[in-house]
Amino acid sequence: MTEAGPAVLVLLGHPRGRDSLCGALAEAYAEGASASGCRVETVDLSALRFDPNVVEPSPRGQALEPGLQALKESVERADHLVLVYPNWWGTMPALLKGALDRLLVPGWAFEETTGGLGFEGRLGPRTAELLTTMDTPALAYRLFYGSPGRRAMADATLGFCGIETTCFTPFAVVKDSTPAQRRDWIEKARRRGESLARGPRPPLHAALRTAGSWLRALRLQFYPMTLAAYAVGALIAVRESALDQAAFWLGYLMLFLLEAATVFANDLFDRDSDRRNRHYGPFSGGSRVLVDGRLTERELGRGAVLAGAGAAAVLGLLALHGLPPAAVAVVPVLAVLAIGYTVPPLKLCHRGLGELDVALTHGFGVLYAGYALQGGALADPLPALVALPLCLAVLPAILLAGIPDHAADRAAGKRTLVVIIGIDGAFIAAAGLALAAAGTAVVLLGAAGVGLLAGVALVAPLHAAWLLHAILRTRRKVRAAARIDGLLANALLYIAWFTVLPLLALLA
């Protein structure tokens, strides 16, 4: 958005153009938007002359007629698009569909990528809204038919191209409407235009979008492993006695906030690498809330500070509750290692130590936090013996997660361990560590009698063999940075045995 007010493009998609109810709605919206300080341009598709059919193998190979070329330039100037059209047979008229077929070509509106869902919109961060007339009652359209036209336009078309649809305003039922109702509808369209003075997003939509952005930034898919390891440590400490519920849940809240501060900081300090990354997926490449413009650097920075402050505040509550001496030693070290993953001056992931840092924090660190907060003695070797194979099991997933990021990390000057040893070295190291984790569990069960690892010693070698096969098979195919989502999911599942099975043994 510019300081002089957003540039608004009102696109009228009715074949009868301005001589229609849609034409009156478009005109009223434009007047309201102009009154709110917006710079408004209106394009009547019925006045353009173009072939609505894509007759070349790709729409990119078909030259745009002068009218469509001018429309393309109008879209490029716009911050906010307003599409006004009738709903015919559940969706848009052929005129509008043909214009979009010709206009939204690959390379301009979107591009293929190996990251995300395989495509990336290029028209963001523009917003849009839809004003639609229809003869179907709005409630029936939504409940009985599932709003096919809205979903097709908002999600499969505009959303696919990176444009966020912020509002859908239906005007129905047209065939039974009175002149007074139509005047009310026209006035409603005018008010919609005037509302742009408060921003393109209605308050509820803006609140939901913000909440969704923060949930995405949290990367909640990684938190269950932390909770499981923390619970194992806590239950080892109490053994036959009762769990201190207050200390347990306050401690986990502290870890949750600490992990949130860490992932927020990671996005902030890894933003250069994330912007370059073309192979991002659900397990690598960050949350991309900065790259996609969902949150600003200032917002994410504040979030990291607030989450870190919240973790410190909860630690203060734990101190009032009675903080065991072991926890005084464990928790600060865990916090420094977690935050130091990407935050200066440590920036461990930039020095080839990030993978080891994650293994230590999510293996020994989290398990020992649960153990120490329940009053466990640091001299007891059992938590270390249970944490060791878990620590080794974490490393393959972390190493493999660096493979899709390899090219972007290297270009950004980030010296991860995968950048240092190379992609082939990462595959080999991940395979060896997966076997080492299972082997360590077997040895500790047999030589040290660690009964909590009985289930792990039984299941982990079988999964390690499967994971080894998957790693070697992928290694033969992958020689450069590439997505390996299936292999990463396999490696993350492997970690679960090292927490879930001891946890079940403790609960039995």
Predicted confidence pLDDT, tens digits, the chain (508 residues):
345 689 999 999 999 999 999 999 999 999 999 999 999 999 999 999 999 999 999 899 999 999 999 999 999 999 999 999 999 999 999 999 999 999 999 999 999 888 888 888 999 999 999 999 999 999 999 999 999 999 999 999 999 999 999 999 999 999 999 999 999 999 999 999 999 988 888 888 889 999 999 999 999 999 999 999 999 999 999 987 899 999 999 999 999 999 999 999 999 999 999 999 999 999 999 999 999 889 999 999 999 999 999 999 999 999 999 889 888 889 999 999 999 999 999 999 999 999 999 999 999 999 999 999 999 988 899 999 999 999 999 999 999 999 999 999 999 999 999 999 999 999 999 999 999 999 999 999 999 999 999 999 999 999 999 999 999 999 999 989 999 999 999 999 999 999 999 999 999 8
DSSP annotation string for 299-347: HHHHHHHHHHHHHHHHHHHHHHHH--HHHHHHHHHHHHHHHTTTSTTT-
Q: Three-state SS for 48?
A: coil
Instruction: Give yes or no for a contact between 230 and 367, defined as CB atoms under 8 angstroms apart.
Output: yes
The pLDDT of residue 205? 85
Q: What share of the chain is helix, strand, coil (3-state, %, to 5)?
A: 65, 10, 25
Residue 140 carries which side chain, given as an amino acid letter?
A: A
How far is residue 365's CA from residue 337's CA, in Å, rounded to a whole number? 9
Q: Residue 4: is it exposed, middle or buried by C-beta count within 10 angstroms (0-12/13-18/19+)?
A: exposed
Q: Encoding tokens for residue 221?
A: 């898919």
Residue 258 carries which side chain, given as an amino acid letter?
A: L
How far is residue 327's CA from residue 317's CA, in Å, rounded to a whole number? 13
The pLDDT of residue 118? 85
Q: Encoding tokens for residue 334?
A: 């865990």
Q: Encoding tokens for residue 473?
A: 């098979």
Residue 451 carries which side chain, given as an amino acid letter?
A: G
Q: Which of 395, 471, 470, 466 is nearest to 436 (CA)?
A: 395
Q: Encoding tokens for residue 502?
A: 């001891």
Cis omega (within 30 of 0) for bond into 173: yes
How far is residue 112's CA from residue 507's CA, in Å, rounded to a whole number? 48
Interacting residues of 307 by C-beta distance below 8 A, sequence separation 6+: 257, 258, 260, 261, 264
How far is residue 197's CA from residue 503's CA, in Å, rounded to a whole number? 55
Residues in the chain: 508
The pLDDT of residue 4? 65
Q: Which of 44, 139, 141, 45 is nearest to 89 (CA)?
A: 141
Q: Three-state SS for 410?
A: helix
Instruction: Give yes or no for a contact between 224 and 259, defined as CB atoms under 8 angstroms apart.
Output: no
Q: Three-state SS for 167?
A: strand
Residue carrying the six token digits 């009218």: 67
The pLDDT of residue 2? 41
Q: Three-state SS for 83?
A: strand
Residue carrying the six token digits 């909440």: 211
Q: How far is CA 131 from CA 33, 142, 386, 493, in A?
A: 14, 15, 60, 46
State residue 358 phi and psi, 5-degree precision.
-65, -40
Interacting residues of 117 by C-beta distance below 8 A, sequence separation 6+: none
> Looking only at Cα atoms, what is the longest distance across the chain?
88
The pLDDT of residue 403? 97
State residue 164 phi and psi, 5-degree precision.
-90, 120
Q: Encoding tokens for residue 394?
A: 């974490």
